[in-house]
Amino acid sequence: MRKILRRLSAFAASVLAAVCGPALAAGDTIKVGMLVEMSGTFASFGQQISTGAKAYMKRNGDTVAGKKIELIIRDTTGPAPDVSKRLAQELIVQDDVDFIVGFGLTPNALAVAPIATEAKKPTIIMNAATSIITTKSPYIARVSFTLAQVTEPMAQWAYKNGLRKVYTAVADYGPGHDAETTFKNAFTKLGGEIVGEVRIPLKNPEFGPFVQRIKDAKPQALFVFVPAGELAIGFMKAYTERGLGAAGIKLITTGDVVDDGVIEALGDDVLGVVSTHHYSVAHDSPENAAFLASYAQINSTQRPNFMAVGGYDGMAAIYEVVRKLNGKIDGDKAMEVLRGLKWTSPRGPILIDPETRDIVQNVYVREAKKVGGKIYNVEFETFPAVKDPGK
């Protein structure tokens, strides 16, 4: 009798192994490989994005469909396409990740697109904002924004509010070029005039001479995009030191320049600056309150910014994919889930466009103001459900 039982259980074990073997062998973990800038000038990008992702996991637990979600963070060190490519390959080959996520900077996202295609890895852009990125691989979806998406409303708001002669200044790479072209097209179409334009290098920019040239041209307003963080601080310092505000040149920007992460460091000179963007810490909603509380549990000294929301929402998208696919990740099926996915983000309602895999969202017009002694971008007008123009 005992012998029969032993034989039966051995048989049962072999049947179980045959049925469940591959799933068990694949592991009970979903690996999310994150490529972000954790050191150098752009270190705040990786800090914000990874903290945002961890905030989502803190709030929602780290188990989905019976699988443990593991975040593996790698430092791209800055705008470094070759480093990003190598790290993406390592994440796929050595770590066997199920998703690739992150990307503060456009050049790093573009470098990884062919690898995502070849490996069929669902790749989620949590910040990089040049329009073209999502066209570079069918395995890329974006949960952040595009410069074109937030710039067109700025041009429309500027014209509607009486501005006619504007100078543009942008960082000299993908997102800056998109911002420049979009502002020019939208503003001149309405009847406005671009009285001068300048492109500022991404690496080691010297803002002083550029800003002086703009002051001498005496435009009515200056439209600016530079990447958030250190560069925004450098630009605002030159703007104030060279007295553009005092000379009556109105400053209008994308939200990157007055980013929540550094707005307090910009000081009172930033008060009154009008910007357009998809997220402000001051956004009044229960989803944002939950995000802020969760972020503060991980980092209580740093104010989150739009990149942190990108990290948070990127994880929300991944959790949904894992749930819908019941823990069995397949590149094509994952993209099918991502296309058309919609939910309420800390920034408001968002949708991944089923055709372009790019994000559709509200763009808010905000003014830098003091609230309770602290500086915030206070939203006062909404352009609802904006798509990336030209897609």
Residues that bind ligand PHB (CB under 6 A): 104-106, 128-130, 175, 227-228, 256
Instruction: Please give the Cα distance from 193 to 334 (Å, whole number).
Output: 45
Minimum CB separation of residue 124 from ligand PHB in Å reads 14
Give whichever of 104 and 327 is closer to ligand PHB, judged by the CB atom: 104
Minimum CB separation of residue 73 from ligand PHB in Å reads 18
CB neighbourhood size of 301 (10 A): 5
Give whichever of 64 and 133 is closer to ligand PHB, judged by the CB atom: 133
Q: What is the 3-state secondary structure (H, E, C) of 157-186?
A: HHHHCCCCEEEEEEECCHHHHHHHHHHHHH
Minimum CB separation of residue 229 from ligand PHB in Å reads 7
Q: Fill in the DSSP letter of residue 38.
A: -
Give whichever of 128 and 233 is closer to ligand PHB, judged by the CB atom: 128
Minimum CB separation of residue 348 from ligand PHB in Å reads 19
Give whichever of 147 and 341 is closer to ligand PHB, judged by the CB atom: 147
Say if CB 229 and CB 261 are below 8 A apart.
yes
Instruction: Please give the Cα distance from 207 to 190 (Å, whole number).
Output: 30
Max Cα-Cα span within the chain: 99
Give whichever of 154 and 322 is closer to ligand PHB, judged by the CB atom: 154
Give whichever of 31 and 136 is closer to ligand PHB, judged by the CB atom: 136
Minimum CB separation of residue 191 from ligand PHB in Å reads 29
Give whichever of 228 and 317 is closer to ligand PHB, judged by the CB atom: 228
CB neighbourhood size of 20 (10 A): 10
CB neighbourhood size of 124 (10 A): 29
Minimum CB separation of residue 104 from ligand PHB in Å reads 6
Minimum CB separation of residue 291 from ligand PHB in Å reads 19
Minimum CB separation of residue 78 from ligand PHB in Å reads 11
Closest CA to 66 of 390, 338, 239, 323: 323
User: For the purposes of burial, counting CB atoms within 10 Å of the CB of 82, is it exposed (0-12), middle (13-18) or buried (19 or more)?
Assistant: exposed
Instruction: Please give the Cα distance from 72 to 364 (Å, whole number).
Output: 33
DSSP string, 203-233: SS--HHHHHHHHHHT--SEEEEE--TTHHHH
Give whichever of 41 and 130 is closer to ligand PHB, judged by the CB atom: 130
Q: Which two tokens stand for residue 320?
A: 């949904």
Closest CA to 176 of 232, 215, 260: 232
Residue for token digits 């073997």?
Answer: 21
Give whichever of 258 and 335 is closer to ligand PHB, judged by the CB atom: 258
Minimum CB separation of residue 18 from ligand PHB in Å reads 48
Q: Which two tokens stand for residue 60?
A: 């929602």
Say if CB 184 and CB 223 are below 8 A apart.
no
